[in-house]
A and B are shown apart, each in its own frame.
Chain A
């Protein structure tokens, strides 16, 4: 399997979980909300303030208008009453003298003719005696002599010149009122008139407040005196009507300046205003249906509302589009980073927005490229570390000279070593024991090999083959290095053997070294390479190792001559080594040194 394939499968495995992870606060949503709010909030604020102020202004105007209307209505009604009163004055101008009755009757008739509202007119003289009563419908009564001095009308008129009686319903359905007028002196007496208030209706009905508003009149007892809807007046003191009127009156009186809305007699919501009529102690109401009064406000509110709505929709569209455009590239970068993180180093993030995001994507692509390179490098080093010491591996890699691993001839020092009695041991011992032992063995030897920057070319079971001066030349004398290394190895493993002996394992350790020209290079096939040395030197070292006994380090003549003088050597003589034909001169590193 190629590295590329492995990287891709890894990417696929990582990509799935990455997409499943939910973003806690999506960027798109944030942008959308921010943009939307940026447009809608000022819009709303403007609309709301406009609506509020418009509403207030309009209400103030309404208030003013209604007050004017009610005042105008009141003055019209006042005029009506005053007109009747003025006409009645004609009947109380002449004093009551003997024989003057006919003149008074004439005056009274003319007043009756002049004021259609008067149903009957009674004239009372200075002492309160009724002298005549003429009626429009009933019979005229001349000289009845009834004493009306105690009549409240007479008393009232005498006191204040004009007296307005309460409104009562004639036959339960017609509004009548008594009006009494006194002359400028007692002798002229008092005129008392029964007035049919239906005549005011023409005045009231003609009053228009706005388009659908109207005026109406209520007396001191809260009873309707006049109303554009005559039925309401004629119906008389109906419970529901009275209750509504009272409520309306209280509410309007409590007004104190601002406009209020209330329910009128017919149950609709209106804006009322009130003006009193002093003499008769009536209240004139002008009311405008709330629907009509607020229609302009409502229209303006609708307009504002629709504008805000349209603005909001537009803002939503805009925010949506912009947020998409902003968060889109980020999503691309995000998924690209996930892929690269998963190992897809050849993935390139494509963004062409022309802004910092594009630059970011560019940097990420560069990073991916670097990662790809470094991954390859570490793979290569990994491969090398299989047999090269880390330092050598680094060296080879950083030098970039892979051709160092190429086939060549080199003057190398080959070191072979293995355990004595291992085969017997491995036949007897349990697998766990064998592995544990081997682990300790390799740990010890591996540390030493790394320390000496040697190349471990091969190991199998308990035997190792180590190379010095290839692929990278030793910084110092390879022969010396080899010997020192072998000594260290002996020392370490002997310590281990002592331990093993305690466990009951009887093992030994022997090392063989040889120096000479060998062919070095990589052997193997695609994906599985090893670096090795081939040649006489290698074979010699191997044979020497086999010949070595426990604690022995055997070296060949070449190596011996290289280290004579520095290392204590013992001539061992010649040995018959398989494959080498003639006897080979073998030396051993001195036991003293080896035992240390």
Chain B
């Protein structure tokens, strides 16, 4: 488990350094994700410990957002002023985004059924 955590942290570290060094507009952890993916594809194998640690971490992904979410206590006055704009924008935009993404994706799948079958 510690070994797996070390791998994840190390790849994040490499990602953060690469992003800062190159000035690319990419988030460091996402670069780390791409690196891990490439390493797994190259090795064609997924170590059990890494799989178990990743599954634990991902099954509690929502826990990791709580500390930032509690930051809402700092914005009482802003939300009191603009709550309507913020709430309506968040609800509408989130639902429209999910609907547009799914419908466009499904339309393309239907239009190009071959996209599902090549190889």
A and B form one complex: no
Binding site for B on A (CB under 8 A): none
Q: Using a CB–CB distance below 8 Å, which chain B residues touch chain A?
A: none
